[in-house]
Chains A and B, each alone.
Chain A
Amino acid sequence: MSYDERALIEYVTQQRWYGAKSRGVAYAQLLDSAMLRTQEPRLELALVEVRYETGSHDVYQLLVSSREDEPGLCGLAEDPSLARELVSAMRSGLAVQSADGVVEFGHLEGFAGLERELGAARVVATEQSNTSIAFDEVILKLFRRLEAGINPELELLRFLTERSFPNVAALGGWYAYAGGPLSTTLGILQECVPNARDGWELALDELAADPDGFLPRLRRLGEVTGELHTTLGSEPNDPVFAPEVPSEESLGLLTATVDEEIANVFLSLPDDDERIEPIAGRGEEVREQLRLLTHAGTSGKIIRIHGDYHLGQTLWSDGHWTIIDFEGEPARSLAERRRKRSPLRDVAGMLRSFAYASIAAGPLRGADVPDDWESRAREQFLDAYLATVDQSLLPSGPAGIERMLTVFELEKAVYELRYELDNRPDWVGIPVAAIRRLIEPAPAAS
């Protein structure tokens, strides 16, 4: 199939998963393509490079169908049933040659979801970088913006599934491209979690209905998180997963990284926003606190972690937590997302999520959240986590753990501040409160 460049640019830039909406496109070109289905309607996989005016570029995965009688590009958004072809290719372990490489499909032996008939396909989520399509019992996730190398989601899910870790949706299959332009993971197939509720939505609902009654479930989530980290750190002989003692300068590197993020965000704070007022002009105080926190101490071991851990990455179903979305923070490079980190970084992400829920439940659900709910939620989660997780992964002593958590929470809060300023100004108060808490002593308990 040949593509008209203008039509291609138009098609790609209009998709919901297209991530660079603010940048000018200089040109787009087809890097490679493979015909996955030759009968009508045909299905073709295309790798498209979009070049921006500043000289940078992105590579996107396109799945397009064409009929003789119907010109124009038809993709998954228009016809999700196209994705059936991908699942059956995984089932049969297909390999399709393209002009400059090969598209390979595979599955994990014993995955029940592949043995049954597929249900009706529906697009369930389109995010910045991926599309998910559900077929009753399995769910297919396509990575749209591609980076060279193995996707951490495939890596981590395979590792956890092979060890029968109970709190993930088991990996069933995947497909990948290896060729001249790059080698990359294109998508994964997972089991669907039935009757699942999004952990973030659930938390908001429960904060309105029964905030105290929700705490035992967060306690359970703490255990699950501890078990996740213990499992991820359980393979000393696999270099990709083996826990490592961080190098001597790792604390210095972390400090430098967080410090630069603080300096950067304070450099561009708006002058006239009263929500910012409690921290405006106090960047130096925050940096000073960071220096005190990282002055000394051990940071425990580093392992592969979830990387973007918060309530929205959990599902609650029939009394059971499932952890999803192991891609890592979408704004970071693949090399960065694959880095081993302290497991406390995930913990900090979840704790920040409790702060978000406790504040957001008011405006979003009309909830009247008790003042001490966040601290009790933290306590429940942390107690259970610390009692469960492999102790050798943590810094030694409660003070060391507390200090590292504070550093990671600060890092998160700074990231949130930048994100909210750019995307959701109404939410800016949440990270501002976290940063303020760090530089102002807590008010005496009443």
Chain B
Amino acid sequence: MSEQWFERDPLWFKRAVFYEIHIRGFYDGNADGSGDFRGLIEKLDYLQWLGVDCVWLLPMYPSPLRDGGYDISDFFAIHPDYGTVEDFREFVDQAHQRGIRVIADLVMNHTSSDHPWFQESRSDPNGPKGDWYVWSDTDEAYKDARIIFLDSEASNWTFDPVRGQYYWHRFFHHQPDLNYENPEVQEAMLDVLRFWLDLGIDGFRLDAVPYLYEQEGTNCENLPRTHEYIKRARAEVDARYPDRVLLAEANQWPADVVQYFGNGDGDECHMAFHFPVMPRMFMSVRREDATPIYEILDSTPPIPGNCQWGLFLRNHDELTLEMVTDDERDYMYAEYAKDPRMKINLGIRRRLAPLLDNGRDEIELLHAILFSLPGSPVLYYGDEIMMGDNVYLGDRDGVRTPMQWTGDRNAGFSRADWAQLYLQPLMDPVYGFQAVNVEAQLRTPTSFLRWLHLFIALRKEHPVFGLGSYEPLRPENPRIFAHIRRFEEDIVLCVHNLANSAQAVELDLRAFNGMVPEEMLGRTRFPAIGELPYLLTLAPRGFFWFRLRQGDE
């Protein structure tokens, strides 16, 4: 029997810091040039030190890897490059022993065209799997559904010469959509959930969740029956597996995304990514204006108390610009993708540090804003050491290069030959592994890694950041993003200067008359709050977090 290393805590995800890992790129435990679960186990001490509560693994299943593993060819196994199901189980147990939970990507919408289910479906239309995919004699149906991978796909239908029919796919043509009208498909995918939950996994990031069902005359996204099926999956999880989490990837506007929490009941996904807030953080920094952040938060509907937003700056995909207006997108391209190679689909394929010109102040400021918002932050591997990217690599590989552990051979990522590595680590003078690596930053007290470590610890000390209310202050100075977080007796004031110049701001804090702000990083006490506007001055891109304490404490 495996030990249980956690207290019952159904809302753990609301206070958690997530860390996204590309297994192939993290650490190579068997010297074959590709990261794996044995390697991941060796790096758990690092993750424990960093303060990560939950690891999110990119797809780990067998796959022809035509879409970074989101093209799954077997739901019940581990990709041989990464190890075995037994290695996975060992990884989960080792992580749990260190107080770290594990969730993994799962694609429910489609499979790889290599999946035996699809092979059977195309070759035997009347067989048991004949109806497991969405087949049609024409490519005429569902014309109102947009094409997501604009750069590579011309239609959501592709003709299959074997079966002589068209099949439906919302993503690449080698990723046929499963037919959720078929009860066997519904049941088969619940089996997939149970298989991994039984192995101890703490939940799933449900990839491409809005597209499960199709219906004529709609855009085939967020359909009621899609929600019904997710509710069913949630009920299945709740009944047998306590303290697990379903995290929806629904790149939609907040009003649509909140549907994935269930209609006010919190009976669908526990978490969903808040996509639109992300580009607005970058926009605010470049425009030196807090308005875009205030506005998107104002237009974010409330969510059920047992749910949480997932917030991020960057991830393994492009910096997606689907959830902005055309003007905003033009602005983002102009500011953040000056080289056309940096664009892909509707987004920008760069890592955090290069996006911000390696600006330490900007990177700290964006983390401060991210960590101060209502939601759970999701960090992307490598961003904690300000790793760079390689825009000359195809697709999104440029942001998936090996983790830079040391300044030694292969960046300390692998003992394989350099030429054998799945991708070569960065070598350029600014972001290359000899300049940017974990070992050096651990030893340098002023490094970003050391700063982030303290900052994560600070956030975790105060449940208010995960559980508290959000109350925008909106001072007259538009360059300041200031707000109050409040949970039970804990009140925190967060003030961020988006400008590249020093700023003064007057805050209306009369509601807290008599309280004393204590700066949270250095524990310095500031003058008590009175009836008059509270004046603060902030350095360029500077920020303050204060705990508001009773005057006599």
Residues of A within 8 A of B (CB): 24, 26, 53-56, 59, 147-150, 178, 180-183, 247-250, 252-253, 255-257, 259-260, 263, 267-268, 287, 291, 294, 333, 335, 338-339
Residue of B nearest to A182 (CB): B7
Which of B6, B442, B462, B522 is in CB contact (< 8 Å) with A252? B442
Min Cβ gap B469→A in Å is 13
Please, which residues of chain B bring their CB within 8 A of the CB of A26?
A: 488
Q: A249-B442, A252-B439 are in contact. List 8 more A-B contacts (CB 8 A).
A: A54-B463, A54-B489, A56-B463, A180-B242, A256-B450, A333-B99, A335-B48, A335-B97
Does B328 have its Cβ within 8 Å of any Cβ on chain A? no
Chain A residue numbers with a CB within 8 Å of B454 are 260
In the assembled complex, how far is the CB of residue A242 from the closest CB belonging to chain B, in whole angstroms? Answer: 12
Greatest chain A CB density within 10 A among B49, B462, B464 is at B49
Q: Is the CB of A250 within 8 A of B45?
A: yes
Q: Are A55 and B4 in contact (CB under 8 A)?
A: no
Q: How distant is A402 from chain B, measured CB to nearest CB, in Å?
A: 20
Using A249-B442, A255-B442, A287-B445 as known contacts, say yes or no to A181 and B412 having CB atoms under 8 A apart.
no
Point out the residue from A56, A178, A249, A253 that lies within 8 Å of B4, measured CB to CB. A178
* A181/B7 contact (C-beta < 8 A), A247-B43, A267-B523, A335-B99 known: yes
A182 partner residues in chain B, CB cutoff 8 A:
4, 6-8
Contacts of A250 in B (CB 8 A): 45
Could you tell me if A263 and B405 are in contact, using CB atoms closer than 8 angstroms?
Answer: no
**Whole-angstrom distance between the Cβ of B492 and the nearest chain A Cβ:** 11
Which chain B residues numbered 449 to 474 have a C-beta less than 8 Å away from chain A? 450, 453-454, 462-464, 467
A333 CB contacts on chain B under 8 angstroms:
99
B36-51 vs A, Cβ < 8 Å mask (1 yes, 0 no): 0000001101101100
Listed from nearest, the 5 A-B pairs whose CB atoms lie closest are: A252-B442, A55-B463, A183-B4, A335-B99, A182-B7
Flag whether B443 is at the interface (Cβ < 8 A): yes
Among the listed B46, B49, B405, B488, which residue makes an inter-chain contact with A55, where contact means beta carbons less than 8 Å apart?
B488
| A255 contacts across to B, CB distance below 8 A | 442-443
Q: How many whole Å from B194's CB to the nearest CB in chain A?
A: 20
Contact partners of B464 in chain A: CB under 8 A: 55
A253 close to B490 (CB less than 8 A): no
Question: Are the C-beta atoms of B42 and A247 separated by less than 8 Å?
Answer: yes
A335–B48 alpha-carbon span in the complex (Å): 9
Query: Is B49 in contact with A257, judged by CB distance below 8 angstroms?
Result: yes
Which of B3, B462, B489 contacts A183, CB < 8 Å?
B3
Decide if A55 touches B487 in the complex (CB within 8 Å): yes
B76 at interface by CB-CB < 8 Å: no
Q: A276 → chain B, closest Cβ, in Å?
A: 18
Query: How close is B541's CB to chain A, nearest CB, in angstroms?
Result: 23
Say whether, besides A178-B4, A247-B43, A248-B406, A256 and B442 are in contact (CB < 8 Å). Answer: yes
Instruction: State how many angstroms separate the Cβ of B534 from the closest Cβ of chain A.
Output: 24
A257 to B454, CA, bound (A): 10
Contact A256 to B443, CB < 8 A, known contacts A55-B490, A181-B8, A335-B97? yes
A149 touches B5 (CB 8 A): yes
What sequence of 0s and 1s flags, for each residue 274-316 of chain B, a beta carbon within 8 Å of any chain A beta carbon? 0000000000000000000000000000000000000000000
Q: Which of A181, A247, A259 contacts B46 (CB 8 A)?
A: A247
Chain A residues positioned under 8 Å from B488 (CB to CB)? 26, 53-55
In whole angstroms, how far apart are the Cα atoms of A131 and B99 in the complex?
A: 26
**A249 to B439, alpha carbons, bound, how many Å?**
6
A438 to B543, CA, bound (A): 37
CA A53 to CA B464, docked complex, whole Å: 11
**Which residues of B come within 8 Å of A, CB atoms?**
3-8, 42-43, 45-46, 48-49, 97-99, 242, 405-406, 412, 438-439, 442-443, 445, 450, 453-454, 462-464, 467, 487-490, 522-523
Distance between Cα atoms of A147 and B242 in the complex (Å): 18
Contact B4–A148 (Cβ < 8 Å)? yes
Chain A residue nearest to B445 in the complex (CB):
A259
- How near does chain B come to A277, taking the closest CB pair, in angstroms? 22
Knowing A54-B489, A248-B405, A335-B98, say if A148 contacts B439 (CB, 8 Å). Answer: no
21 pairs across A/B with beta carbons < 8 Å? A53-B490, A55-B467, A56-B463, A148-B5, A148-B6, A149-B3, A180-B8, A180-B242, A182-B8, A183-B3, A247-B43, A249-B439, A252-B438, A252-B439, A255-B443, A256-B49, A267-B522, A267-B523, A268-B523, A291-B443, A338-B97
In whole angstroms, how far apart are the Cα atoms of A55 and B467 in the complex? 9
Residue of B nearest to A147 (CB): B7
Instruction: Count A-B pairs with CB separation below 8 Å.
Output: 91
| Contact partner, A53, options B97, B445, B489, Cβ 8 Å | B489
Task: List chain A residues, Cβ under 8 A from B438.
Answer: 249, 252
Q: Chain B contacts of A259 at CB under 8 A?
A: 445
Partner of B3, one of A53, A150, A287, A339: A150
Alpha-carbon separation in the docked complex, A147 to B4 (Å): 11
Which residue of chain A lies nearest to B5 when distances are taken between CB atoms in the complex?
A149
C-alpha gap A201/B372 in the complex (Å): 50
> Which of A24, A147, A150, A256 makes the CB contact (< 8 A) with B489?
A24
Look across to chain A and name the residue whose beta carbon is closest to the beta carbon of B15: A55
Q: In the assembled complex, how far is the CB of residue B100 from the closest CB belonging to chain A, in whole angstroms? A: 9
How far is it, in angstroms, between the C-alpha of A182 and the C-alpha of B10 when the chains are bound?
Answer: 12
Whether A148 and B7, one on each chain, are in contact in the complex, defined by CB atoms closer than 8 angstroms, is: yes
Q: In the complex, A335→B101 CA distance in Å?
A: 13
Cα–Cα, bound, A163→B422 (Å) = 46
**Bound-complex Cα distance A97 to B185 (A):** 40
Within the complex, the shortest CB–CB distance from B409 to chain A, in Å, comes to 12
Our pick among B7, B8, B405, B489 for the contact of A249 (Cβ within 8 Å) is: B405
A339 to B42, CA, bound (A): 13
A148 to B490, CA, bound (A): 26
Q: Complex: how many Å from CA A289 to CA B445?
A: 13
Q: How far is the CA of A346 from the CA of B454 in the complex (A)?
A: 27
Using CB atoms, name the residue of chain B closest to A340. Answer: B45
| Smallest beta-carbon distance B137→chain A, Å | 54
Whole-angstrom CA separation of A181 from B4 in the bound complex: 11
Complex alpha-carbon distance, A291 and B446, angstroms: 13
B97 touches A149 (CB 8 A): yes
Residue in contact with A149 in the complex, picked from B4, B450, B523, CB distance below 8 Å: B4
With A54-B463, A294-B443 as contacts: A253 and B46 at CB distance below 8 Å:
yes
Q: Are A335 and B463 in contact (CB under 8 A)?
A: no
* B8 cross-chain contacts in A, Cβ below 8 A: 180-182
Chain B residues lying within 8 Å of A287, measured Cβ to Cβ, are 445
Once A253-B49, A259-B445, A287-B445 are accepted as A-B contacts, the answer to whether A54 and B490 lie under 8 Å apart by CB is yes
Alpha-carbon separation in the docked complex, A268 to B405 (Å): 33
Q: Point out the residues of chain B lying under 8 angstroms from A149, CB to CB.
A: 3-5, 97
Q: Which residues of A contact B43 (CB under 8 A)?
A: 247
B42 contacts which chain A residues (CB < 8 A)? Answer: 247
Cα A338 to Cα B99 with chains together (Å)? 11
- C-alpha spacing A235/B211, complex, angstroms: 52
Question: Within the complex, what minimum Cβ distance (angstroms) separates B439 from chain A?
Answer: 5
Q: What is the distance, in angstroms, from A359's C-beta to the closest C-beta of chain B?
A: 31
Q: How far is the CA of A249 from the CA of B48 in the complex (A)?
A: 13
CA distance A257 to B449 in the complex (A): 12
What distance in Å separates the Cβ of B438 from its nearest Cβ neighbour in chain A?
Answer: 6
A147 to chain B: which residues have CB within 8 Å? 7
Cα distance, A147 to B49, chains bound together (Å): 19
A259 to B49, CA, bound (A): 13
B91 CB to nearest A CB, Å: 12
- Cβ A253 vs Cβ B45 within 8 A: yes
Q: Which residues of A contact B45 (CB under 8 A)?
A: 247, 250, 253, 339
CB distance from B490 to the nearest CB of A (A): 6
Q: Given A53-B489, A55-B488, is A249 in contact with B97 using a C-beta cutoff of 8 Å? A: no
Residues of B within 8 A of A263 (CB): 445
Q: Roughly how many angstroms separate A287 CA and B523 CA in the complex, as a whole number?
A: 21
Contact of B462 among A54, A267, A291 (CB under 8 A): A54
Distance in Å: Cβ of B502 to nearest Cβ of chain A: 25
Residues of chain B within 8 A of A260, CB atoms compared: 450, 453-454
* Distance (whole angstroms) from the CB of B483 to the closest CB of chain A: 19
Q: How far is the CA of A263 from the CA of B451 in the complex (A)?
A: 13
Tell whether, in the assembled complex, residue A59 and residue B7 are in contact, meaning their CB atoms are under 8 Å apart.
yes
